[in-house]
Amino acid sequence: MGLSTASEPTPARPADPHQPNYDDTIVKMFFTATVVWALVGMLVGVIIALQLAWWPANLGLPWTTFGRLRPLHTNAVIFAFAGNVCFLGIYHSMQRLLKTRMFNDTLSRIHFWGWQGIIVAAAITLPLGMTQAKEYAELIWPIDVVIAVVWVIFAINFFGTIAKRRVKHLYVAIWFYMSFVITIAMLHIVNSLAIPAGLFRSYPIYAGLTDALVQWWYGHNAVGFFLTTPFLGLMYYYLPKAADRPVFSYRLSIIHFWALVFIYIWTGPHHLLYSALPDWAQTVGMVFSIILIAPSWGGMLNGLLTLRGAWDRVRTDPVLKFMVVAVSFYGMSTFEGPMMSIRAVNGLAHYTNWVIGHVHSGALGWVGMISFAIIYWLVPEIWKRPLANPKGPTQHFWLATIGIVIYTVAMWAAGLMEGVQWRQVNDNGLLAHPIFLDIVHRLQPFYWLRLVGGSMYLIGAIMMAINLWRTIHGPAPQLETASTAAAGGAY
């Protein structure tokens, strides 16, 4: 049912005499930041993975313990790597979708440097132990204030660009970007409300379980509106571009967009199942989490079915390979998540490595892989030169894919094992594994295995960085075929 092509971009646009003068410098700046922070964030991830397998890697220093580096890892990969990918893709695609330059170049630069400054501040303060100890919202209040200001500047630039667009109708990618800009502002501000005690410390205005509910409303929707909706927007732009096919269903995109933005926000309490949070709130969170399968899979199906008629190219085009695996992982983790939100399943999964496996199938599989796809597609397009090593993306693809599988399988196994052993009761009605440390010891092989998978993923990213560095800074190519590169034909 090829319902339409209402507002998707025409894949191969003929030379347009009225083509606006796009600001691609800002795209290049966000690209550089993306690759740098990807390497930093993943490297810290590998280090903390090593710390769990081999505790001396904590180095005996306050600044390098797991407790301080783990927030640095999560902040770096979410807000630094994934954040810069979103900005990179949004600044590139929205100018083209709206056929206009960004609203204001100065605002673009303030957004860029402000965001990088925030990340540097995070990288300094978190190892120093300056934290609010709320997951993915650890940064201290002065940084929170700067985040709010920079985000508002981004929002002005974003909506200003929409206001001066030269295309009447907003393409589906823009809808998802809009939900990203609005919702993240709301989540960040509400969750960060606190009373300072000096420059480096503050206490939230919410206490106890109310604070927990607000935090997980924020925390789960950081997943929903930082790692999902903007990336679905990117999928809706770059997947049809790379596949050279229109989006499968316009109508499906309407339904799943509205359902996703409405339903996602309810799901936070599934992080607090079996806690003393009121039962009604837990149940609401669980029910909406299960309903969320529908709009999530709507997005997945719309992505995969866009490839209809282009599946033969998946064999040869590494950009499409990355995209297919990314969208598949999106589908898998948005199935797994709702399952884990069912109270009985959560009773086993909560607090275990299973959660870590789930998170990384989404983060490495969906966010990471679609980011690599976009980057490999965009660099030849923007710099107008083919990749220095055309085989590199395929090697990266296999290394990353196998790495993810090793990582998630190790964590699933570890999570199930510890979840079962924590709760196992013998015939006398006593705990079968009363010594917690015994279970910790049995996890060690899985922690090593996870380290292997994560390292493979990091090595793939390093290969990508080298390849792209050589592409951009290497000798200029003789034959300039940006359009072939753009269509994925160059590799």
Partner 1 sequence: MSTNDQHTPHESAKTYGQLHRRLFEGRAAFFTVAMTIAVLIGGIVEFVPMFTVSYGPERAEWITPYTPLEVAGRDIYIREGCYTCHSQMVRPMRSEVLRYGEWTRAPEYMYDRPFQLGSRRIGPDLQRLGGKYPDAWHFEHMRDPRATSPGSVMPAYSWLHERALDPADVTRSVRALQRVGTPYEGNLATMVPQEMERQGRQIVANLGQASIQTTWDREIIALIAYLQRLGVEGREHLAAQGNGQ
> Which helix (DSSP H) or strand (DSSP E) does residue 380 occupy?
helix 369-383
Tokens, residue 396:
């990266």
Asked whether the beta carbons of 4 and 236 are under 8 A apart, the reply is no
Nearer to partner 1, 126 or 373 (CB): 126
| Binder of partner 1 out of 34, 65, 228, 289 (CB under 8 A) | 65
- C-alpha 474/C-alpha 467 separation (Å) is 10
| Residue choice 121, 146, 209, 332 for contact with partner 1 (CB under 8 A) | 209
Residues 418-457 that bind partner 1 (CB under 8 A): 418, 422-425, 430-431, 434, 436-437, 440-441
Enumerate the H helices of 126-249 as residue ranges. 141-163, 172-192, 208-226, 229-243
What is d(CA 185, CA 175) in angstroms, rounded to the nearest whole number? 16
Cβ contact 443:352 at 8 Å: no
Handedness of CA 122, 124, 126, 130 (dihedral sign): negative
Among 34, 131, 341, 471, binds partner 1 (CB under 8 A): 131
User: Does residue 347 touch partner 1 according to CB under 8 A?
Assistant: yes
Give whichever of 212 and 235 is closer to partner 1, judged by the CB atom.
212
Q: What is the DSSP letter of 104?
A: -
**Rounded-to-integer distance, Cα 483 and Cα 384, Å:** 9
Verify binding: residue 412, partner 1, rule CB under 8 A. Answer: no
Residue 117 in contact with residue 157, Cβ under 8 Å?
A: no
Q: Which of 14, 16, 280, 476 is close enough to bind partner 1 by CB under 8 A?
A: 280
Structure tokens at 415: 């999570």
Residue 486, C-beta contacts closer than 8 angstroms, at least 6 positions apart: 241, 377, 380, 381
* Cβ distance to partner 1 smaller for residue 398 or 436: 436
Question: Do the Cβ atoms of 99 and 20 come closer than 8 Å?
Answer: yes
Cβ-based nearer residue to partner 1, 84 or 215: 215
Please report, as residue ranges, which positions from 240 to 259 form the binding site for partner 1 (by CB under 8 A). 250-251, 254, 258
Which of 104, 275, 283, 328 touches partner 1 by CB under 8 A? 275
Enumerate residues 6+ apart whose C-beta is below 8 A from 56.
none
**Residues sharing a CB contact under 8 Å with residue 197, sequence separation 6 or more, in sequence order:** 203
Q: Which of 91, 171, 237, 372 is close enough to bind partner 1 by CB under 8 A?
A: 171
Does residue number 211 form part of the binding site for partner 1 (CB under 8 A)?
Answer: yes
Using CB under 8 A as the binding rule, whether residue 268 contacts partner 1 is answered as yes
Contacts of partner 1 in 348-377 (CB under 8 A): 350-352, 355-356
Our finding on whether 183 is near partner 1 (CB under 8 A) is: yes
Q: Check residue 62 for interaction with partner 1 (CB under 8 A).
A: yes
> Which residue among 121, 265, 342, 465 contacts partner 1 (CB under 8 A)?
265
The answer for residues whose C-beta is within 8 angstroms of residue 253's C-beta and 6 or more apart is 172, 236, 247, 298, 302
**Based on CB atoms, which residue is closest to partner 1, 195 or 476?**
195
Binding of partner 1 by 476 (CB under 8 A): no
Out of 34, 58, 361, 467, name the contact with partner 1 by CB under 8 A: 58
Instruction: For CA atoms 179, 306, 380, 454, give the dihedral sign.
Output: positive
Of 10 and 21, CB closest to partner 1: 10
Task: Kindly report the number of other CB atoms within 10 A of residue 199's CB atom.
Answer: 10
In the complex, the smallest distance separating the C-beta of residue 466 from partner 1, rounded to whole angstroms, is: 32
Which amino acid, one-letter code, is at 326? A
Q: Which of residues 69-108 bind partner 1 (CB under 8 A)?
A: 70-71
Q: 27, 277, 387, 411: which one contacts partner 1 (CB under 8 A)?
A: 277
Specify the residue, 111 or 350, whose C-beta has the smaller distance to partner 1. 350
For residue 135, state whether it binds partner 1 (rule: CB under 8 A): yes
228 binds partner 1 (CB under 8 A): no
Which of 116, 179, 228, 302 touches partner 1 (CB under 8 A)? 179
- In the complex with partner 1, the residue whose CB is nearer, 30 or 218, is 218
- How many whole angstroms separate alpha carbon 55 and alpha carbon 68? 14
Among 46, 146, 148, 167, binds partner 1 (CB under 8 A): 167
